[in-house]
Amino acid sequence: MKPKVLLFSLCLASLMSVGAAAATPAGSDGGETDSTEETTKKKRDWKSRFTIGGYGEAVFSRNFYSENWKRYSDATKFKDDKGHNRFDLPHVVIMLGYDFGKGWSMGTEIEFEHGGTESAVEIEEEETGEYESEIERGGEVALEQFWIQKSFNEALNLRLGHMVVPVGLTNSGHLPTQFFGVYRPEGDNTIIPCTWHETGVGLWGRTRDWRYEVMLVAGLDADRFNNQNWVQGGAGSPYEFKIGNSVAGAARVDWYGVRGLRIGVSGYYGNSASNSLKRDKFKDLKGSVGIGSVDFEYAGYGLVARGSFLYGHLSNSGEIAEANRSLKGMGISPGTNIGSDAMSAGVEAGYDFFSLSDKLRSKEQKFYVFFRYDFYDPMWKMGKTKRGQQLLDEEQWGRQRFAAGINYFPMDDIVIKAEYSYRKFKSQFNDEPSFSLGVAYAGLFTK
């Protein structure tokens, strides 16, 4: 062979070997390589491994009552107020997921609440009625979930990252197709974080008729507890990070032993006083938060029924309330009284009248008529200050709510809702009736 031909052959072989190396999949150890057919299949299958979905709600409400900041302190003055209309986007969420293979996957949820960035100007309902700039959570949007998961089998899955804490019925079923009301149920949604999401590590799985979930997450922040919402604000943070001096535990167990029925028990426990940048003001205080909940859901024969009961206790509530007053006006703490115990209970039931017609049932449409009742009180019991002074129970926050309405499902992922609700208070306050109309969706866009 001529030298020039030999040199050309060697160069061509070298280029072919480089091309083959470049075609080796990322992460290969240099052993077996995928065939051309397998490589093409992997490129084609990435779309089936990627999921995108979400949920969203658009709402119109007519509130037949005053929302003046003095409506509880001077109720007689606002008894005949005509109220006003509202348009709202309570939640719009984008969900992204990817299956990496070999049991590894990831999931994210990005949430836009009320069409905004979680910062707002509000009228302070306590004290002077001044305008305040309210920051619910640092950042421009809420990252509701971001986790990496390793699935070993159906009974054992390890999840790391930012996750939903499944305490209470609404946190475990917060999609708009999973409750009848136009808005989320008021009880759980008022006294605990909802949707409650924290960063941590969790295990979950299902075996036969049982499903479990346990997790360790960042504890709540006592700086942000208040009179109206108990510990709800403690899941947020005004900073660009979440203080985690105390780690909390959460768990949930669900039983599916009867067809169409699920019964769940969930709980949470953790200290909150040390999760503050000003830990010295909570010296020698734990601020332990304990929450227990039982809930159920039944679906069958055209009937859907759900119910829940939740009870929570906060230790050192009086001392925490007293210490928080030093932060009032700084945008960190509301500086109000805080209940030592809080409670909520709710039940709803709806019947699908389209299930009575074979023709309508064959179209997979549903039309529910429903009723719902809620009772909740973030100040069910009150604690004492360090000096032994009993904190005042602010009775306007203990409420009952009655609601009735319809849910029309043209398909499983879309629902049109309408309801009339009546929020009832003790006799010294004005009751609060309203009408709401909403449209919502929840589902995956890739399947």
Quick check: is 13 in a domain? no
**How many CB atoms lie under 10 A from the CB of residue 337?**
24
pTM of the model: 0.85
- Strands (E) in 208-287, as ranges, are 210-218, 247-255, 261-271
Terminal Cα-to-Cα distance of the chain (whole angstroms) = 59
CB 415 within 8 A of CB 367: no
Of 155, 120, 149, 118, nearest to 134 by C-alpha is 120
101 CB-side CA count, 13 A: 5
Quick check: is 69 in a domain? no
pLDDT score of 373? 98
- Quote the CA–CA distance of 27 and 306 in Å, as a whole number: 48
Tens-digit pLDDT string for the chain (447 aa): 444 443 334 343 443 343 433 333 333 443 444 455 665 555 557 678 999 999 999 999 999 999 898 999 889 999 988 899 999 999 999 999 999 999 999 999 999 888 766 666 666 655 556 656 666 654 457 889 999 999 999 999 999 999 999 999 999 999 999 999 999 999 989 999 999 999 999 999 999 999 999 999 999 999 999 999 999 999 988 788 888 899 999 999 999 999 999 999 999 999 999 988 877 788 889 999 999 999 999 999 999 999 999 999 999 999 999 988 877 666 678 889 999 999 999 999 999 999 999 888 888 899 999 999 999 999 999 999 888 889 999 999 999 999 999 999 999 999 999 999 999 999 999 999 999 999 999 999 886
Quick check: is 44 in a domain? no
Question: Could you give the C-alpha distances from 54 to 90, 167, 199, 367, in angstroms and in order?
Answer: 14, 21, 21, 23
Quick check: is 46 in a domain? no
Quick check: is 84 in a domain? no
CB 376 within 8 A of CB 417: no
Residue with tokens 């346990």: 214
Question: Could you give the C-alpha distances from 417 to 44, 185, 261, in angstroms and in order?
Answer: 40, 14, 24
Using only C-alpha atoms, what is the Rg of the chain? 27
308 CB-side CA count, 13 A: 26
Quick check: is 216 in a domain? yes
Quick check: is 371 in a domain? yes
CATH code for the domain in which residue 296 is found: 2.40.160.10
In our burial notation (b when 16+ CB lie closer than 10 A, e otherwise), range 377-403 reads bbbbebbebeeeeebeebebbbbbbeb
CB 422 within 8 A of CB 446: no
- Quote the CA–CA distance of 298 and 268 in Å, as a whole number: 25
User: What SS3 state is found at 74?
Assistant: coil
Query: How many domains does one find in the chain?
Result: 1
Quick check: is 200 in a domain? yes
pLDDT score of 341? 98
Structural domain including 186 reads: 142-444
